[in-house]
Structure 1
Amino acid sequence: MPRNRQDVDREVKIAEIREAAVAILRSGGHPALTHSAVAKDLGLARTAVYWYFPTKDELFTAALAEIYARDLAAPPEGDDVMTRLLWALDRLTALQPLTHALHERARQSEAAARLESALQESLCTRLRTLLGPRVDPGRLDLVTSTIIVFVEGLLIQPRTDEESRELLGFLVAELL
């Protein structure tokens, strides 16, 4: 029988559920994430998970937002553009299956569309900040958009790491 956890703070419960969802997403991707799987991992009733995350998309986006926050939190020190772009490319490549699932869900889910939009805005802001000292202000938005579109293409095209790095290096050298 699932345990009764009335004595546990609401925010602690939400964090525990989110952590279980993060673990499931990392190991099995979007298809593996269900309210039942999270409840089973935590020894809870499935309805307890629904209480905090009424839909799979809300559970998915909460867990995925946590994954993005962790995986993209600590770029390399310094201001070398290529080092930081390659670091981001490596992380985004590892997250690509989850990013693809987010993109698919964003077509039907407001929660997923909000997360996708927030992620895009965050990445654009970070890239503008990195490029700002090196790019004429009149070209900054265009250069930023070009790099983002290019990286998105690298993420969906079957390329080796070496090819991706070479292509990105060429683009950055041409733009900067």
Structure 2
Amino acid sequence: MPRNRHDVDRDAKIAEIREAAVGLLRAGGYPALSHSAVAKELGLARTAVTWYFATKDDLFAAALADIYVADLGTPPADGDVMARLRWAVERLTALQPLTHALHERARHSPAAAELEAAFQEGLCTRLRALLAPHVAADRLDRVTTTVIVFVEGLLVQPRTTGDRLDLLEFLVTDLIGASGRS
């Protein structure tokens, strides 16, 4: 007879499911993620996964949030503006297929739309704080928006790492009017 769900620590089971979903996303992107794949990975019935995450997009948003925290949660504490931006752009480049899937799913899924909005807000807040010492207050929002739009475009174009970083440095040097050094 199967165990009653009351015997299962809810938080521990959610963490276990999210961890398996993260592994699937990292290995195969959005197409690799499914309730069935997570259940198989954990040796559970598919319904056990849907008990905690009703839709694939709920599962996707939870797992992608974990990936964002792991990959973008701890930027370098020191270093000049360019070093910190290079760090972020390289991580965002690696995450681009998942971020693109998030953007696509946000059109149809409240969970994905909520994560996308929180992700964008978090990036804007962090970038604004990074640029604030180098940009006049009356230009800060516009410069922040310009850098974000530029980076988003940079991420979807097929460019080498060197090209991406050269263009980023050119933008920051010209837009901020300094070397970007703190």
The answer as to 2:182 corresponding to 1:166 is no
Following superposition of structure 1 onto structure 2, how do residues 88-167 of structure 1 map, counting pairs within 5 Å? 88-167=88-167
**Alpha-carbon shift at residue 46 of structure 1 (Å):** 0.5
Evaluate the alpha carbon distance shift between residue 172 and residue 150 of structure 1 in structure 2; reply closer, same or farther with a 3 A threshold: same
For 2:74, what is the secondary structure of its paired residue? Answer: coil
Instruction: Specify every segment of 5 or more residues in structure 2 that has no aligned partner in the other structure, as ranges.
Output: 177-182
Distance (Å, rounded) in 2 between the aligned partners of 1:27 and 1:96 = 14
Q: Which TM-score applies when normalising by structure 1? A: 0.96
| Shift in alpha-carbon separation, 1:148–1:57, aligned structure 2, 3 A | same
Structure 1 residues 3 and 143: alpha-carbon distance in aligned structure 2, compared to 1, 3 A threshold:
same
Aligned length: 176
Runs of 4+ in 1 over 2 A off after TM superposition: 1-8
Structure 2 letter corresponding to 1:71:
D
Separation of aligned partners in 1, 2:2 and 2:119: 36
Residue 6 of structure 1 and its aligned partner are, at CA, apart by 4.4
Deviates more, 1:71-80 or 1:122-131: 71-80
For 2:73 and 2:157, locate their aligned partners in 1 and report how far apart those are by CA, in whole Å.
25
Paired-residue identity, %: 71
Give the AA of the match of 1:101: A
Q: CA deviation at 1:96?
A: 0.5
Question: Structure 1 residues 88 and 102, CA, compared in 2 at 3 Å: closer, same or farther?
Answer: same
Deviation at 1:77, TM superposition (A): 2.3
SS at match of 2:129: helix
Residue segments in structure 1 that go unaligned for 5+ positions in a row: none
Higher RCO (CA-CA < 8 Å; seq separation 6+): 2
Q: Could you tell me how far apart the structure 1 residues matched to 2:27 and 2:171 are?
A: 34
Cα separation, 2, equivalents of 1:5 and 1:15:
15
Q: How big is the alpha-carbon RMSD for the aligned residues of Structure 1 and Structure 2?
A: 1.4
CA distance in 1, matches of 2:117, 2:56: 19
Tell me what 1:37 maps to.
37
Paired position in structure 2 for 1:12: 12
For residues 123-171 of structure 1, the C-alpha deviation after alignment (integer angstroms, 9 at most, x for no partner) is 0000001011111000000000000000001100111111111110000
The secondary structure found in structure 1 opposite 2:133 is coil
Aligned equivalents of 1:136 and 1:117: distance in 2? Answer: 26
Displacement after TM superposition at 1:73 (Å): 1.3
In 2, the alpha carbon distance for the partners of 1:162 and 1:28 equals 26
